[in-house]
Chain A
Amino acid sequence: MVLLGLGMVLIFVATIAQVEIGIRESQLRYFRSWIAWLEVGPGTLRVSLPLPGGLLLASALLVNLLAAHLTRFKLQWKKVGIFLIHAGVLILLLGELFTALLGWEAQIRLDEGETLNYSTHPWEVELVIIDSSAPGENSVTAIPQSRLRAGAVFPLDGFKVRIERFLPNSEIVPAATAGPEFEAPSATEGSGVAFAVREVPEETAPDRRNLCSAFVKIIPEHGSAPGRWLLSNAISGMQEFKIGDALLTMAIRQRRFYHPFSITLLDFSHDRYLGTEIPKNFSSRIRIVNADRGEDRETLIYMNHPLRYGGLTFYQSGFDNDDTTSIIQVVRNPVWTLPYIACAMVALGLLWVFSQHIVKAIGRRRAEHAS
């Protein structure tokens, strides 16, 4: 009871919070946490109130359900309905937990005609350093965003990468057009030299992503390093640097997930109803090439009809560039069947219990009439 009530409060608060901090952030802060801190009060007089977070509530609910069934209910035919409902709720909760642990989401952003064999994380970036000095192979080092912070040093083969500053979200403009709110350009090497940067609050809208920037130094094993690079996912392309004779490249880019197959966008179409701007359908005709399985085929992804392939689900998520770029969401959720099972169980259980009630009520009324 109390747990369900707290659950309601949590959901309500989190829904309201979505207006300010966005769906993704509120999910992390309220549902996928043990304790959710609710900030109330005007301006600087903010007080943080602790609320039990989604994880805490769900676990408590689990324990409660199990305990209740172990101690109070005995397995009888009469109680099968109640048992089914609660088992279903249990599976639903576990399913959501496993989704949180095992699932991930990414995007593929394809121009018409483009082919990619990876998807990118919607908001996380990574710092990659690619060494192509050995003929015929690339040695790629990727540092995830969680480890990028000011002062961090990453020793690599023959040199170290040092993060001078890290800005989770920033605005980058050509130095020539920068206003007074921007910092003076301080990169001395690479293509970032001509840009001015300023830090801005992180994005909350689900359709906008942060532009992360970092100032990094490359420190060779012997000797000093005066050079300072500006890396950002707002700057396209790799930036070069030299260690000895070897030429390496580096960049900050959206975190990548490589797939054992490649996808080509053949055609994207966006139909509208005649004489209006109301979208009628979005669809992407794509080609999947999987060398391992010898596959090479075309298929269509459109609204309400995702492609399920290789344990992943690809669905039409958006478009850009005057209807020539398609954005496809890639979702991995190995436990997607659990909710189906859970729902069937709960629905059956509810039906069972309520029909028991109805039969009983009718019997009682008959008895009343008879007497």
Chain B
Amino acid sequence: MRLRLHMTLGWLLPLLCLGVLVITGLRATRPSADLDLKSFGSLPVVANGRVQPLDALARNGLLVIQGRQRIEGEESPASPIAWLAELAFRPDLANQRRIFRINHDEVLGQLGLTQDRSKFVSYGELQDSLPTIEEEADRIAHREVQLWSPYEKALMQLARSVKLYGQLKHALALPGASQLEAEMILFLASIDQALAESEKRNRGEEHNPEVIANSTSRMRVLLEWAPKTHVFTTPSGITGDVSEWRRLADSVIDALDAEDLHPSTMAYARMGDAYRKSGSEGVRDFKEAVSGYRSWLSDQRPDAFTKGKAEALFNKLAPFYASMALYLVAFLLACFSWIWPVGQFRQAAFRIMLLGFLLHSAGLLARMALEGRPPVTNLYSSAVFIGWGAILLSVVVELMYRNAVGTVVAAIVGFATLLVAHHLSLSGDTLEMMRAVLDSNFWLATHVVVITLGYSATFLAGAVAIVYLLRRLVGGVPKKAAQSLRGMVYGIICFATLASFVGTVLGGIWADQSWGRFWGWDPKENGALLIVLWNAIILHARWGGIVRERGMMVMAVFGNIVTSWSWFGTNMLGIGLHSYGFTNAAFTWLSAFVASQLIIMGLGFVRIPGQAMTRSADPSNSGA
């Protein structure tokens, strides 16, 4: 009986995980009885130069403003999109939410606040200080970014948040207007009347100057409203091209020529009016306005409609976070399988890891489809892809050796890189548009992908080496296991050498194609070269017999440091063509990582009595 339980565990545990995933997925997409904010969140707009759903706008906005997506406090909006709806249609309530994160005491002090309760303040509390903030930001903006003090950085961050908050507030409705739909219709009518009156005036007939003044002031309101937002809500024109989208205010002004308000403009006005109504009537009207606009979109702008729906769904399912959880489970089970080799824990761990990998791949593919780009386009996606590549390699390794090492390292690297990705995503939109220099799918697909695979492999070799060094300390590595670990590291380093060399060179060819020089000693180029050189050194040292098993493992761990330098360190220098931006908050983490790797390398030199024999007994046979 006990034996049978062990046998079935190999399938039972993965199925259990799958069940949990399906249930959470279904719960995330279930429609709610209250306001239909889920459909609202999938409505497409253009911001940051790309079509994105309101849901993404809300999430990224909150990330920039408060560094997280959840809003603390009683009766606060339950989701980012609920917050955006409140901000757009009930700014009076939104202004009381404590969402502005202030990172520096001096900034708080300047605003006349103390840090007695939390780092978060509301827009209402900031309102009096807005001129001060603007003045300071103006002064700081003229100084070089590298010279900013921590206070200045915190203040600029706050200024950026305030600006974004204002832009989102003005995106979907005019704050202060009470009846949005009626207001717009009145505006159009008043313009018509005013035109008639001014014609009378031009003819020298009797006219009503009040009507003209009234409509002029309404016009002024619209003209002042337009530049306050960066969100383009209205898919005007006929081709559906991104450049044809208009801001809400502009679309009202356009209506003067077109005679009619755009369906999108009307829909947002109705949503706003419905949102402000209380009770079931509001819920019904809101749903009607949203679904009416959605059916217009699916008919007239199917591309934008599908893209909005898909990205909103992707954000809701958040496949990478589910992968992280699965990797964690797989890691624990795999470690357990070493301690207790009976039963099918190893198989269960491997299958759960595969499940995580499937989700990870699905997420990657979804991002590629949304962006219409190869997998790696910025630092965030490089983290996701490095993890993916490393896991792909370790799946191959695990299938070859079947000793749970592949699963353990896959889980470690997968979890760690997705964690890095999570922290990178806090800086805002991860599907941002590509700068002109990088706008080349061919080179992104070749140079960037291959070199990122090189990073993956170097990290993976380092991770296997860490497993070796740690197991050596805790009870020693059995000879057979040591042999397979050695084979793994060696094989992975070979692949890493190939990928990083080819990737680096493809980069050189890209540079030659677009800038007329093959090599420019740019920091990122140097970093890539360092990885190639280091891998070459390991291989030569191994072939030349300078290092044996343990030496190679220690060197492979150093490969982690070299790769992390090339990945992050070079971006922190802030020079060269590859310095596509990064904050220095990661500097501390990079240093900590390097230190931890150095310690592990040091552990490799600890002598353990009784193990010297096994080491010298094996001749170096993995070499050429």
Residues of A at the B interface (CB closer than 8 Å) are 1, 4-5, 7-8, 11-12, 14-16, 18-19, 22-23, 26-27, 31, 82, 95-96, 99, 103, 105, 206, 272-276, 278-282, 303-306, 313-315, 317, 329-331, 333, 336, 339-340, 343, 346-347, 350-351, 353-354, 356-358, 361
Contact = CB atoms under 8 A, between A and B. Distances in A.
Given A339-B505, A350-B498, A273 B48 contact: yes
Interface of B: 46-50, 230-232, 242-243, 245, 432-433, 435-437, 439-440, 443, 487, 491, 494-495, 497-498, 501-502, 505, 508-510, 512-523, 526-527, 529-530, 533-534, 536-537, 540-541, 544, 546, 565, 570, 573-576, 624
Contact of A303 (B232, B439, B502): B439
Contacts of A99: 517-519
Contact of A8 (B243, B435, B533): B533
B230 A275 contact: yes
Contacts of A306: 513-516
Given A23-B522, A347-B498, A280 B49 contact: yes
B509 A343 contact: yes
B541 A1 contact: yes
B387 to A, nearest CB: 24
B143 to A, nearest CB: 15
A275 B514 contact: no
Contacts of B565: 12
A279 B435 contact: yes
Nearest to A81: B624
Contacts of A339: 505, 508-509, 512, 518-519
Main secondary structure of the interface of B (DSSP, over half): helix
A311 B401 CA distance: 54
A315 B436 CA distance: 13
Nearest to A312: B516
Nearest to B440: A304
Contacts, number: 163
Contacts of B526: 11-12, 14-15
Contacts of A361: 487, 491
Contact of A274 (B232, B534, B546): B232
A55 B249 CA distance: 63
Nearest to A307: B516
A97 B513 CA distance: 20
Contact of B498 (A7, A31, A351): A351
A353 B536 CA distance: 13
Given A23-B520, A280-B433, A354-B495, A274 B49 contact: yes
B491 A346 contact: no
A351 B514 CA distance: 28
A354 B622 CA distance: 12
B573 A18 contact: yes
Contacts of B573: 15-16, 18-19
A315 B515 contact: yes
A279 to B, nearest CB: 4
A15 B534 contact: no
Contacts of B546: 1
Given A14-B521, A273-B50, A354 B494 contact: yes
Select the residue from B439, B487, B573, B624 with max chain A CB neighbours within 10 A. Answer: B624
A16 B530 CA distance: 13
Contacts of A1: 537, 540-541, 544, 546
A357 B523 contact: no
A359 to B, nearest CB: 13
A92 to B, nearest CB: 9
A82 B436 CA distance: 40
B435 A278 contact: yes
